[in-house]
């Protein structure tokens, strides 16, 4: 792992405490630890959390994919199609 202990703890805190998701999901996408919390993880996390709560995306869908795709693809698949 190239991420610091503080970064790992911060990502885990957001993932588990703020978003309420299982930490085991992070094993599938360890690249998330290298992403910016403020610019990518937190904003996208809240969008995905909202979509799941509204039933617009399946609860069993990958929680990792929205964080790893480009900004353009994220907007296309997770924002614009639900306007």
pLDDT tens, residue by residue, 29-47: 888 999 999 999 999 999 9
Q: Which two tokens stand for residue 31?
A: 């690249």
In this prediction, residues 8-31 reach a mean pLDDT of 91
Q: Can you give the pTM of this predicted structure?
A: 0.87
Domains in the chain, number:
1
Domain hosting residue 17, numbered range: 5-82
Which string of DSSP letters, residue by residue, matches 34-79?
GS-IIIIIHHHHHHHHHHHHTTSS-TTS-SSHHHHS-HHHHIIIII
């Amino acid at each position: 792992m190239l991420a610091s202990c503080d970064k790992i703890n911060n990502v885990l805190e957001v993932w588990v405490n703020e978003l309420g998701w299982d930490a085991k999901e992070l094993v599938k996408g360890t690249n998330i630890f290298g992403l910016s919390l403020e610019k990518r993880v937190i904003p996208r996390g809240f969008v995905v959390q909202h979509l799941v709560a509204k039933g617009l995306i399946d609860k069993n869908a990958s929680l990792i994919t929205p964080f790893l795709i480009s900004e353009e693809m994220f907007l296309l698949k997770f924002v614009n199609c639900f306007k």
